[in-house]
Amino acid sequence: MIEALPTHAPPGYECPFCSVVRGEDNLPWTVQDDVVRRDGRTTAWINGRWWANNPGAVVVVPDEHVENIYALTGEQARAVHESTRPSHSR
């Protein structure tokens, strides 16, 4: 079992996702008006960047910083999953 995951963030790195979670704009990509859901565990917003084969997406992140998907705890992963489910099935 891996004791601690390696980090790749350079010193002084400012996570752009966490700035949105804190209520700040992440210009030019995300402004607070793009946020569509906050449930106390996750924050979701309409992605400001679209691709030709993916014209629109919602970004859902845990409210606590996680460097990458492999560092998600089970609780964080469940919270992200639950956030994406329709409200009638939660």
State which of residues 37, 65, 78, 81 lies at the interface with Zn ion (CB under 5 A).
65
Question: What tokens appear for 20 in the block?
Answer: 């949105």
Please report where in the chains the tokens 């924050």 appear, as a residue.
Answer: 43
Find the shortest distance in angstroms from Cβ 80 to Zn ion: 13
**Residue whose C-alpha is closest to residue 26's, from 43, 40, 42, 9:** 43
- 72 counts as binding Zn ion under rule CB under 5 A: no
- 29 counts as binding Zn ion under rule CB under 5 A: no
Question: What tokens appear for 21 in the block?
Answer: 């979670």
Give the residue with the Cβ less far from Zn ion, 53 or 61.
Answer: 61
Find the shortest distance in angstroms from Cβ 85 to Zn ion: 23
